[in-house]
Amino acid sequence: MLRWIAKRMPLLGDREGSVVVEFAIAVPIMLLLLFGVFDFGRMMWLSSSVKHAAAEGVRYAMVRGAESSVPATSDQISTFVKGRATGVNANDLAVAVSWSPDNNPGSTITVQVDYQYEFLLSRMLPFGPVELSGASTKVVY
């Protein structure tokens, strides 16, 4: 029966264009998955970088307490943290430094680093920015 229909309507029996149609359907999906994996991996790397920068900043500050020969200020710690955040635009980092109760030995210092990550695929898919943050707390020497 199918052969009879294929002989009467030659376009139904022709399979030459089916590969092109399948390719046109499959490639955008595969590219979206590929770029999604790349984008997610980049986000995880930047998240790790932000957390590492916070840890480096608190280490820098804890050895430069009020009784140190060169005590660290909040601005110096912020500049140091922005220099340690690999792969992140330093101007987009928000660094907050706080001492509890002060910068003397035995007190604690906390460095909080925040970064807004914008997905590369956000122009095609409805993804908003993601807040990446890292915080570290140590005792001042």
Domain extents for the chain? 2-139
113, 98 Cβ separation under 8 angstroms = no
The pLDDT score that the predictor gives to residue 121 is 87
The pLDDT score that the predictor gives to residue 125 is 83
Strand order in 108-117's β-sheet?
Answer: 94-100, 108-117, 130-139
Q: Tell me the pLDDT of the chain (141 aa) as tens digits.
A: 667 666 666 655 566 778 888 999 999 999 999 999 999 999 999 999 999 999 999 999 999 999 999 999 999 999 999 999 999 999 999 999 999 999 999 999 999 999 999 998 888 888 899 999 999 999 998
Q: How many other β-carbons are positioned within 10 Å of the β-carbon of residue 21?
A: 9
Q: State the amino acid at position 110 in one-letter form.
A: T
What's the pTM? 0.83
111, 135 Cβ separation under 8 angstroms = yes
